[in-house]
Structures are given as structure tokens and as C-alpha cells.
Amino acid sequence: MDTRERMVDVTARLLARQGYHATGLAQVLTEAGAPRGSLYFHFPEGKEQMAAEAVRRLGEQLGAALQAKLDGKPDVRSGLQSVARMFARQLEASEFALGCPVATTALEASDEAPGLATACAEVFERWTVVLAERIRKERPRIAGPERLARTVLALIEGALLLARVRRSVEPLRDAELAIETLLEG
């Protein structure tokens, strides 16, 4: 893996855990084993550009994981249950450090880093599309699969936030039940 790739990978890992502001350039360069001049050589627009690429990578990775979980189950309901449990395991394994890999960065960026905020918005949109397509496949006649997908995403995002704050996977269990109700309603 070349230096640029390693920098994006390290940034992605740090953003997921600690967000944008806490992720310092020195830490990225050290962990990626990259020389000092690497940032502006590889990312002429600086830290925000590097973070935007890292967010897109996190978005692809989680998008693929969501797709695999949804494809691996016979219906949307059990697919989403499997997604919620994947997040619960990840939270517990990381001592509640790893929830939504993009949420902290998205909130920080929305105030002050428009390029990074755009990358975050694209990532949430991608996840919504993955979910909406799976809903439509199962229920071709449903009205507004995008709206249902967005609502489910909002519920999972909120549950991941509360789960990190409370250091408990209970909000994800509550979300599982609520998703069942929403899919029926």
C-alpha cells in the first residue's frame, strides 16, 4: 500500500473513533509512517481533503457491509436486525468507541468544513439508497421506500449516538423493535 493510501486508511480509522477535530495531522503521519511533507504533496487542499476521502472510504466500507447483511437475509426485517446486531457487537468490542463511523465528523463538519460536510452527506445518501433498494425489491408496491429508508437510518443513527453516550447497547435493541413496527406500519 502506498503512502497516500495508508494516510487515508489511518485517517478513516481515527475519524471513526474520535472525529475530525481530535484527529491531528501529526498522528496521521506517524501512524501512516509518512514523511512530514506528505500532506500537501498528496492532498493539496490539506486536512479537509484528506478527511473527505477518508469519509468516502468509510462510507463505501459500511455501505458494502450493509448490503451484505441485507442480502444475506431472506427479508428486510431480519436483514435490519442483523445490521443492528452488527453495530451492537462493534460497540461492545470497542468499549463503545465505535458507533457510526461518520457521525462525529459529520456534525463537526456541518458548521465549518463544507467540503467534508458534502462527503458526509453523500455517504448517508449512499446508505439510504442501499436500504431503499432492498425495501423496494421486497415490496415493489410500497409508497416512498426512500422515506422509510431514511427514517430507519435516522433511527439507527440516533440509537448509535445514545448507545455510545450511555455505554449500553439497549438503544439498538429498542431500535430493532421500532424498525419492526415501522416496516409493518
Chain residues in the site for a second copy (CB under 8 A): 17-19, 21-22, 96-97, 99, 103-104, 106-108, 110-112, 117, 120-121, 124-125, 147, 150-151, 153-159, 161-162, 164-167, 170-171, 174-175, 177-178, 181-182, 184-185
Nearest distance in Å: CB 168, a second copy = 10
Q: Which is nearer to a second copy, 4 or 107 (CB)?
A: 107
Q: Which is nearer to a second copy, 137 or 147 (CB)?
A: 147
Nearest to 67 by CA among 149, 144, 173: 149
How far from 38 is each of 49, 54, 78, CA to CA, in Å? 13, 16, 45
Instruction: Name residue, grid cell 406500519.
Output: 185
Burial profile 114-153: b = 16 or more Cβ within 10 angstroms, e = fewer: eebbebbeebbebbbebbbebbbebeeeeeebeebbbbbb
Nearest distance in Å: CB 173, a second copy = 9
Q: Which is nearer to a second copy, 79 or 171 (CB)?
A: 171
Return the SS3 of 97: coil
Q: Which is nearer to a second copy, 34 or 157 (CB)?
A: 157
Nearest distance in Å: CB 6, a second copy = 22
**CA-to-CA distance for 120 and 112, rounded, in angstroms?**
13
Q: Which is nearer to a second copy, 140 or 185 (CB)?
A: 185
Nearest distance in Å: CB 106, a second copy = 5
**CA-to-CA distance for 132 and 112, rounded, in angstroms?**
30
Nearest distance in Å: CB 99, a second copy = 8
**CA-to-CA distance for 13 and 174, rounded, in angstroms?**
28
**CA-to-CA distance for 123 and 142, rounded, in angstroms?**
24
